[in-house]
Structure 1
Amino acid sequence: MKKEIQFTLQKTYGNKAVAAKLLGISRATLYNKLKKYKLYKEVKTPVSHLFICVNCLNSLDIY
């Protein structure tokens, strides 16, 4: 599960709400797992990658 979380956070550029949705868990559960696996560091990405497709967010029903 640790590797899945790391991969998903990288894929979502550190967006924990989207990562939790993709992993099928609540945000609270994701935060608990981040603490458990000691994954405190934020995912560092270039500013140009901070733009997330609005249609992608709409399809996840979180935007």
Structure 2
Amino acid sequence: DPVCGSAHCALAPYWSQKLGKLDFVAHAASPRGGIVKIHLDEQNQRVLLRGKAVMVMEGSILV
């Protein structure tokens, strides 16, 4: 995961409050890099992430 979506989900509320914005575009400055679009949905208490993805594995779990 070159962009680390879980970190962006955790940081979105912090940056939203700090900058007074609900929408962001973040760039991961790693060798693989990546861009993620972030929207903080305060009403539903959700962080929405958008970006490019590739499926590398598929599976199922029987419980």
Which TM bucket (shorter chain)? under 0.3
- More relative contact order, 1 or 2 (CA 8 Å, 6+ apart): 1
The alignment's TM-score, normalised by the length of structure 2, stands at: 0.25
The alignment's TM-score, normalised by the length of structure 1, stands at: 0.25
Instruction: Kindly indicate which of the two structures has a greater share of residues assigned to helix.
Output: 1
Instruction: Kindly indicate which of the two structures has a greater share of residues assigned to strand.
Output: 2
